[in-house]
Amino acid sequence: MEYILIIIAAVFVNNIVLSQFLGICPFLGVSNKLSTSVGMSGAVLFVMTIATLVTYLLYQFVLTPMGMEYLRTITFILVIASLVQMVEIILKKVSPALYQALGVFLPLITTNCAVLGVAILALGLEDASLLKAVVFAIANAIGFALAIVVFSSIREKLELADLPEGMKGVPINLLVAGLLSLAFLGFAGLV
Torsions phi, psi of 46, nearest 5?
-65, -50
Contacts of 58 (CB under 8 A, 6+ apart): 75, 79
- Is pLDDT at 43 greater than 90 in this prediction? no
The pLDDT value recorded for residue 98 is 76
- Which sequence spans correspond to the domains of the chain? 2-189
- The Cα–Cα gap between 143 and 138 comes to 9
pLDDT tens profile 135-187: 999 999 999 999 999 999 999 999 888 889 888 888 999 999 999 999 988 88
142-144-150 Cα angle (round to 5):
100
Give me the half-sphere count of Cα atoms (radius 13 Å) on the Cβ side of residue 129. 7
The pLDDT value recorded for residue 95 is 83
37 CA to centre of own chain:
11
Mean pLDDT for the stretch of residues 8-18? 92
Mean pLDDT for the stretch of residues 21-38? 85
Give Dmax (Cα) for the chain: 61
Contacts of 162 (CB under 8 A, 6+ apart): none
The pLDDT value recorded for residue 113 is 86
- Is pLDDT at 18 greater than 80 in this prediction? yes
pLDDT tens profile 65-107: 999 999 999 999 999 988 888 878 888 898 888 787 766 667 7
- At residue 64 the predicted structure's pLDDT band, cuts being 50, 70 and 90, is very high
Q: Answer whether 37's CB lies under 8 Å from 31's CB.
A: yes
Could you tell me the CA-to-CA distances from 174 to 86, 129, 154, 170 in Å, in that order?
32, 37, 12, 6
The pLDDT value recorded for residue 103 is 67
| Helices 130-159, 34-58: crossing angle, 10 deg rounding | 160
At residue 33, the 3 state secondary structure works out as coil
Does residue 67 come out as left (phi exceeding 0), alpha (psi in the -120 to 50 range) or beta?
Answer: left
